[in-house]
Amino acid sequence: MRHSKHSQTNGHSRYSSVVNVVLLLEAVLLLEDVLLLEDVLLIEAVLLLECVLLLEVVLLLEDVLLIEDVLLIECVLLLEVVLLLEDVLLIEDVLFLEVVLLLEAVLLLEVVLLLEAVLLLEAVLLIEAVLLLEVVLLLEAVFLLEAVLLLEDVLLLEDVLFLEVVLLLEDVFLVFLY
């Protein structure tokens, strides 16, 4: 019984180790995604800085360029900034969704492990109940065997006493006859 519990616990421990490795691998992959996104954000920040520098150059060249051209360039730069901001917000939404999905997976795994622990405990309790029932039945069999042996002893003693009475009566008859 103890060996069985140890094997089940050892199997549960191996299963828990595998689950921990899978979770660690998912965390590493998520970290790689975050680092990649940081690189993208850095590149976009450099591009934004270049846009700002370009705007400063355009402003310096306003005396040479027509005002309409400057306004057109500013509109284009503003549009690029808006698109860049939309990309950043989309990346944040994707990261948030990944975190939510990872949390749901962890919670589901915890529920599965809890259910397995409950089922294992039920199996152990059932085995203990069966063993207890076997002990009770064995004890009843021993008591029944002792009762049978005691009854045989009583019957044998009655036979012996009956035989002694018969012999005693024969002796009495022999005494009367002589």
pLDDT 10s digits, 132-160? 999 999 999 999 999 999 999 999 999 99
pLDDT band with cut points at 50, 70 and 90 for residue 128:
very high
On the question of pLDDT at 31 being above 80, the answer is yes
Nearest to 102 by CA among 34, 17, 39, 35: 34
Higher model confidence: residue 134 or residue 67?
A: 134
Q: What is the pLDDT of residue 123?
A: 93
pLDDT of 6-27, one tens digit each?
Answer: 556 666 777 888 888 888 888 8
Q: Enumerate long-range contacts of 84-89, CB under 8 Å, 24 or more apart.
A: 84/44, 84/47, 84/48, 87/44, 88/41, 88/44
**pTM of the entire structure?**
0.34
Q: What is the pLDDT of residue 111?
A: 94
Nearest to 74 by CA among 93, 92, 59: 59
3-class secondary-structure state, position 63: coil
Q: What is the pLDDT of residue 25?
A: 86
pLDDT band with cut points at 50, 70 and 90 for residue 109:
very high
Question: What are the Cα distances from residue 44, in Å, to 32, 40, 49, 89, 173?
Answer: 18, 6, 9, 13, 133
Helix 2-60 to helix 67-177 angle (10° resolution) is 180
On the question of pLDDT at 1 being above 60, the answer is no
Query: Please, what's the b/e burial string for 44-83 (b: 16 or more CB within 10 A of its CB; e: otherwise)?
Result: eeeeeeebeeebeebeeeeeeeeeeeeeebeeebeeeeee
Q: What is the pLDDT of residue 65?
A: 64
User: What is the rounded radius of gyration, in angstroms, for the C-alpha atoms of the chain?
Assistant: 47
